[in-house]
């Protein structure tokens, strides 16, 4: 983590020197010198990365570097706050502080010199550390002695019957060419256990003439693995021990020549490992197979890009309890009085077999009483953590293999409560604000953050909770055991502290405020606030209380008083009675999320020059945003739930120069009022990707002097998501009805997703939407369209993949497959008058899912489509059946 700490500090110092050097006037030279010194430390950290696990001396040096980087960050950030306050003071106030400020200037200069001395001391020590890195090779253990094979219990294999049956079928199918079948899943899920079950299956033993099992591992030696394979095929001899790698591969190929073989490669971590080994397996078209287990999806996809791997699932509640009961009571049944507690304990292991086996081992040694089992049930995670080598250390192997930029993103998941569905849009903004996503050429930071998340998912460290209509991740979560790992690593690195209990007094709180950079409160929020916390080192404060919390007027200043250096402030879950103007003094803020009865966002927010994301939920229908975002060069995202009125730049643009108010960083404005869609505003957001408009949309569409406000959307070349939410309140709905839509050429040219609500359009106007050339997702919310019949026109919806039809009075929908040639998902919601779903949709080959919510009259037609799709599937070749299955979901279930 020291690598990330130094990296972030260097980036922040660079931004300070480039864009806000006036705030460090008087100490700029010292800051530049410190930047150079820390750059040397960064080089050492890079060089020492592979040696830290072997040398305690190097680990201690790394910890010292981290701590001195934290100290430097605190010193400079504190001075920037003081300088900003001095800058805002009136002339009279500056005179009053005429002696204070120079004193603080001298003090910070002295502190920086002290920090530089510490850096030099560490640098001198590291010279000895570098010598230690490359000396005394004889004391190092070989990689083979450090590799730990997983313990596999072949008895009591529970929950794997269907998976084993499927794998046996795939391994013994009629295809002659060599195939790789992969099993993918997170650590502790039972990949090795499943592979062992399959390997020992009588059908496998009968089918393959030659079988070999080899454990690859995270730290592997190519020669040792190849020798292990050869050892399964022939008796080792003095001659084989003298072979080099190429000779071993040649001998393996010779032994496998003309024979149908099965080779199990267990625990393959990297694509490099597969590339190292694959040349040893000849393809002789005799039905040979490779069974590969891995935690990383990219390894499986490289080994066989044509066939999806088998993703191992978690155990369900019944299977979890069965495994727990079998391990604790062996052949006996669980006593009746312990069944309920046993089910609770098993359920809290979240379907992870490794965790169940570990907790079962603990229960096996304890008294079989209700009191003891109740005690364990109340704190399953802490009991598992008591034996880290059995569980957390196994899971930690995946964490240790991560590159630095993913390590910090992964342990950040510890900030969220257990089983919390994490919105990806929010997670991405938090990662960017925290500084985890570093600039990489011209690539968008948010896009890069989503790539990081996908990488963690492919490594089976993060679980997908829900996908978006376009297939991207909408919400995600982390397994409870992996979350415990995040918290363990975070505590060791002083990265974050989770508070989920009562704070008895202020002293106990301060003790960990001093050592952690992030505070996350999960319960007893008001108790925490009343304790008057002090966190001078805290950079992030996030609240996720389980209970509803209101913050009275007199307590709104606690944030500024407690966390003067905070960058990330998420108090969305606290209802604030008034807007906390004190936060405008927190000049380091990059991310703010708040909730309350706000009608105005004051112009003083404009002082927050580092602010990137502003998330405001208000109980008011309208929100006047008086913030001058055109002066905020780092601003990227505005999220509000009300109809928010924006104001254009106050100063006039100089005609002889480039427009100084163009904000190329702004990507999200949602939701803003229709009268905010002026050229003065939208022309200055050329890179806007997501736009939400809420209010009386007739204002947006109204044509005056041959032009409308909607015309300004056509110039948004990068806009791919548009929401149009019509506000008919307080008039009768019929008065808010839109007469029509603008012509096709007035829509943003690259629009990918369109959402409409309460627009009350006639179905004839759907012809305009159908011709949008890049539209893939169409969401028609409550009464977006009205009328009894929809007849789609030919030639439209060429790229549409997702269609959502919300509450409407539609009766007859007449369509054929060619009207929606690429449609994959349909959601019909509260369409009580709809007679039937068009049977022609069964001919859309891409159609994968259909959901009906409270639409009983269309259930029969949906079932007919299901039957047709099932018939089509049976006629397909076997290798395509798994990936092209059609699913029908009906809510509520009949």
**Which tens digits make up the pLDDT trace of 329-377?**
887 889 999 999 999 999 988 888 888 888 888 888 888 899 999 988 8
CA distance 683 to 96: 45
Residues with Cβ within 8 Å of 813's Cβ and at least 6 positions away in sequence, in order, are 789, 790, 834, 836, 837, 838
Q: What percent of the chain has pLDDT over 90?
A: 52
What 3 state SS string does 57-124 have? HHHHHHHHHHHHHHHHHHHHHHHHHHHHHHHHCCHHHHHHCCCHHHHHHHHHHHHHHHHHHHHHHHHH
CA distance 484 to 381: 7
β-pairing, 802-805 vs 540-543, is unpaired
| Residue 136: per-residue pLDDT | 46
* pLDDT higher than 90, residue 1: no
Copy the structure tokens of residue 364: 């096996």
> Tens digits of per-residue pLDDT, 540-565?
999 987 777 888 777 777 888 888 99
Positive or negative CA dihedral for 837, 843, 844, 848? positive
Residue with tokens 């995946």: 398
| Residue 91: per-residue pLDDT | 65
Residue with tokens 């929908």: 813
Copy the structure tokens of residue 731: 């008039």
Res. 615 pLDDT band, cuts 50 70 90:
very high
Res. 506 pLDDT band, cuts 50 70 90:
very low
Least confident of 25-39, 324-338, 463-477, 869-883: 869-883
Provide the terminal-to-terminal Cα distance of the chain, rounded to the nearest Å.
52
Q: Which of 814, 772, 824, 816 is nearest to 797 (CA)?
A: 772
Res. 487 pLDDT band, cuts 50 70 90:
very high
Query: b vs e for 797-834, b when ≥16 Cβ sit within 10 Å of the residue's Cβ?
Result: beebbbbbbbbbebbebebebebbeebbbbbbbebeeb
Res. 270 pLDDT band, cuts 50 70 90:
very high
> Tens digits of per-residue pLDDT, 161-217?
999 999 999 999 988 999 999 999 998 888 999 999 999 999 999 999 999 999 998
- Residue 315 and residue 353 in contact, taking contact as beta carbons nearer than 8 Å: yes
> Tens digits of per-residue pLDDT, 63-81?
888 888 888 888 888 888 8
* pLDDT higher than 90, residue 414: yes
What 3 state SS string does 439-486 have? CCCCCCHHHHHHHHHHHHHHCCCCEEEEECCCCCEEEEECCHHHHHHH
Query: b vs e for 484-494, b when ≥16 Cβ sit within 10 Å of the residue's Cβ?
Result: bbbbbbbbebb
| Residue 214: per-residue pLDDT | 93
CA distances from 359 to 327, 343, 347, 373 (A): 10, 12, 12, 11
| Residue 879: per-residue pLDDT | 45
Q: What pTM was estimated for this model as a whole? A: 0.85
| Residue 139: per-residue pLDDT | 39
**Backbone φ/ψ region at 353: left (φ over 0), alpha (ψ -120 to 50), beta:** alpha
Residue with tokens 């092209």: 884
Q: What is the mean pLDDT of residues 504-526?
A: 66
- At residue 38, the 3 state secondary structure works out as helix
Q: Which residue has the higher pLDDT, 71 or 154?
A: 71
| Residue 837: per-residue pLDDT | 96
Q: Which of 358, 359, 354, 330 is nearest to 344 (CA)?
A: 359
- Residue 663 and residue 684 in contact, taking contact as beta carbons nearer than 8 Å: yes
* pLDDT higher than 50, residue 36: yes
Q: How far is CA 107 from the centre of its chain?
A: 42
Instruction: Let me know how long the chain is.
Output: 894
CA distance 97 to 83: 12
CA distances from 443 to 143, 405, 433, 438, 452 (A): 38, 16, 16, 10, 13
Q: How big is the chain by its Cα radius of gyration, in Å?
A: 31
What single-letter DSSP state applies at residue 209?
Answer: S
| Residue 880: per-residue pLDDT | 44
Phi and psi at 879, nearest 5°, equal -70, -15
CA distance 582 to 556: 8
> Tens digits of per-residue pLDDT, 425-480?
999 999 999 999 987 777 899 999 999 999 999 988 899 999 998 889 999 999 88
Res. 7 pLDDT band, cuts 50 70 90:
confident
- Please compute, for residue 676, the number of CA atoms within 13 A of its CA located in the half-sphere on the CB side: 23
Q: Which of 405, 412, 440 is nearest to 426 (CA)?
A: 412
| Residue 881: per-residue pLDDT | 44
| Residue 849: per-residue pLDDT | 94
What single-letter DSSP state applies at residue 707?
Answer: B
Res. 783 pLDDT band, cuts 50 70 90:
very high
* pLDDT higher than 70, residue 98: no
CA distance 113 to 31: 10
Positive or negative CA dihedral for 103, 107, 108, 109? positive
| Residue 535: per-residue pLDDT | 82
Strands (E), 163-260: 179-184, 210-217
Largest CA distance in the chain: 94
Positive or negative CA dihedral for 276, 279, 281, 287? positive
Residues with Cβ within 8 Å of 567's Cβ and at least 6 positions away in sequence, in order, are 433, 434, 539, 540, 588, 589, 590, 591, 610
CA distance 769 to 772: 6
* pLDDT higher than 80, residue 652: no
User: Directed axis angle between helix 317-329 and helix 336-348, to 10°?
Assistant: 120
Q: Of 30-39, 376-385, 862-871, which has the strongest mean pLDDT?
A: 862-871
CA distance 126 to 39: 14
| Residue 768: per-residue pLDDT | 96
CA distance 64 to 118: 9
CA distance 295 to 187: 7
| Residue 882: per-residue pLDDT | 44
Copy the structure tokens of residue 172: 């013994």
Residue with tokens 């300004």: 712
- Residue 363 and residue 341 in contact, taking contact as beta carbons nearer than 8 Å: no
| Residue 96: per-residue pLDDT | 57
* pLDDT higher than 70, residue 878: no
What 3 state SS string does 770-836 have? HCCCCCCEEEECCCCEECCEECCCCCCCCCCCEEEECCCCCCEECCCHHHCCCCCEEEEECCCCCCC
Positive or negative CA dihedral for 714, 719, 721, 727? negative
CA distance 423 to 94: 45
Q: What is the mean pLDDT of residues 714-740?
A: 84
- Please compute, for residue 788, the number of CA atoms within 13 A of its CA located in the half-sphere on the CB side: 0
CA distances from 630 to 17, 389, 585 (A): 22, 54, 19
Q: What is the mean pLDDT of residues 656-685?
A: 88
- Residue 827 and residue 803 in contact, taking contact as beta carbons nearer than 8 Å: yes
β-pairing, 473-477 vs 422-423, is antiparallel
Copy the structure tokens of residue 829: 């919601």
Copy the structure tokens of residue 212: 């070999």
- 763 burial class (0-12, 13-18, 19+ CB within 10 angstroms)? middle
Q: Which residues pair with 592 in a beta bridge?
A: 569, 614
Copy the structure tokens of residue 588: 């380091």
């Amino acid at each position: 983590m020291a690598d990330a700490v130094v990296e972030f500090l260097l980036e922040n110092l660079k931004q300070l020197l480039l864009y806000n050097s006036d705030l460090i006037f008087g100490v700029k030279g010292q800051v530049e010198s410190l930047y150079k010194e820390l750059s040397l430390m960064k080089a050492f950290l890079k060089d020492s990365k592979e040696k830290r696990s072997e040398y305690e001396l190097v680990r201690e040096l790394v910890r010292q570097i981290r701590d001195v980087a934290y100290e430097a960050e605190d010193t400079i950030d504190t001075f920037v706050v003081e300088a900003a306050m001095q800058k805002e003071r009136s002339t009279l106030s500056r005179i009053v502080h005429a002696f204070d400020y120079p004193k603080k200037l001298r003090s910070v200069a002295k502190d920086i010199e002290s920090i530089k001395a510490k850096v030099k001391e560490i640098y001198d020590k590291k010279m000895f550390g570098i010598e230690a890195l490359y000396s005394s090779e004889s004391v190092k253990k070989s990689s083979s002695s450090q590799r730990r094979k997983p313990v596999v219990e072949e008895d009591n294999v529970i929950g794997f019957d269907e998976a084993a049956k499927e794998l046996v079928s795939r391994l013994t199918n009629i295809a002659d060419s060599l195939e790789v079948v992969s099993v993918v899943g997170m650590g502790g899920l039972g990949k090795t256990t499943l592979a062992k079950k399959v390997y020992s299956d009588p059908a496998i033993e009968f089918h393959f003439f030659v079988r070999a099992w080899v454990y690859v591992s995270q730290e592997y030696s190519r020669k040792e693995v190849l020798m292990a394979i050869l050892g399964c095929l022939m008796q080792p001899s003095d001659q084989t021990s003298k072979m080099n790698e190429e000779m071993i591969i040649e001998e393996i190929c010779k032994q496998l020549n003309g024979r149908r073989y099965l080779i199990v490669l267990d625990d393959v971590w990297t694509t490099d490992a597969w590339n190292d080994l694959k040349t040893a397996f000849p393809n002789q078209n005799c039905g040979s197979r490779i069974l590969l287990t891995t935690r990383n999806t990219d390894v499986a996809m490289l080994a066989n890009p044509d066939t999806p791997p088998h993703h191992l699932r978690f155990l369900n509640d019944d299977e979890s309890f069965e495994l727990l009961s079998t391990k604790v009571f062996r052949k006996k049944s669980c006593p009746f009085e312990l069944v309920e507690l046993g089910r609770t304990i098993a359920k809290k292991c979240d379907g992870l077999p490794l965790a169940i086996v570990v907790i079962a081992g603990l229960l096996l040694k304890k008294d079989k009483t209700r009191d003891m089992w109740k005690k364990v049930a109340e704190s399953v995670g802490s009991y598992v953590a008591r034996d880290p080598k059995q569980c957390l250390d196994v899971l930690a192997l995946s964490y240790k293999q991560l590159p630095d930029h993913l390590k910090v993103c992964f342990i950040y998941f510890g900030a969220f409560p257990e089983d919390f569905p994490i919105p990806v849009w929010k997670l991405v903004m938090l990662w960017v604000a925290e500084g985890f996503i570093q600039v990489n050429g011209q690539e968008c930071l948010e896009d890069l953050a989503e790539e990081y998340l996908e990488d963690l998912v492919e490594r089976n460290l993060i679980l997908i909770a829900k996908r978006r209509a376009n297939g991207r991740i909408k919400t995600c979560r982390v397994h409870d055991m992996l979350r415990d790992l995040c918290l363990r690593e975070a505590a060791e690195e002083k990265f974050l502290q989770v508070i989920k209990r009562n704070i008895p007094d202020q002293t106990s709180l301060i003790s960990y405020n001093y050592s952690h950079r992030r505070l996350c409160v999960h319960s007893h929020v008001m108790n925490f606030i009343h304790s008057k916390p002090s966190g001078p080192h805290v950079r992030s404060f996030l609240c996720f209380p389980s209970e509803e919390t209101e913050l009275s007027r007199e307590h709104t200043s606690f944030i500024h008083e407690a966390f003067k250096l905070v960058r990330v402030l998420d108090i969305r879950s606290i209802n604030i009675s008034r807007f906390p103007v004190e936060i405008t003094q927190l000049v380091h803020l990059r991310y703010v999320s708040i909730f309350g009865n706000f009608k105005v966002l004051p112009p003083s927010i404009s002082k927050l020059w580092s602010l990137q994301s502003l998330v405001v939920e208000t109980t008011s229908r309208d929100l006047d945003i008086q913030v001058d975002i055109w002066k905020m060069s780092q601003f990227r995202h505005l999220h509000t739930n009300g109809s928010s009125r924006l104001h254009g730049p106050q100063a006039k643009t100089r005609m002889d120069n480039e427009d100084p108010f163009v904000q190329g960083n702004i990507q999200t404005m949602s939701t803003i009022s229709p009268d905010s869609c002026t050229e003065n505003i939208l022309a200055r957001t050329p890179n806007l990707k997501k736009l939400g408009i809420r209010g009386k949309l007739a204002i947006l569409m109204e044509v005056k002097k041959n032009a409308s406000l909607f015309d300004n959307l056509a110039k948004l070349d990068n806009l791919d998501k548009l929401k149009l939410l019509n506000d008919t309140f307080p008039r009768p709905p019929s008065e808010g009805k839109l007469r029509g839509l603008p012509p096709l050429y007035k829509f943003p040219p690259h629009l990918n997703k369109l959402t409409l609500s309460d627009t009350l359009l006639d179905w004839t106007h759907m012809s305009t939407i159908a011709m949008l050339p890049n539209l893939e997702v169409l969401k028609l919310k409550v009464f977006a369209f009205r009328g009894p019949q929809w007849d789609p026109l030919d030639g439209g919806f060429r790229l549409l993949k997702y269609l959502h039809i919300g509450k409407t009075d539609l009766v007859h929908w007449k369509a054929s497959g060619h009207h929606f040639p690429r449609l994959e998902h349909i959601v019909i919601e509260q369409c009580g008058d709809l007679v039937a779903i068009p049977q022609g949709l069964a001919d859309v080959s891409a159609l994968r899912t259909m959901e009906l919510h409270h639409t009983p009259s269309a259930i029969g037609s949906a079932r007919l489509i299901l039957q047709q799709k099932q018939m089509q599937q049976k006629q397909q070749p076997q290798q395509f059946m798994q990936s092209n299955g059609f699913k029908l979901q009906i809510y509520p279930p009949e």
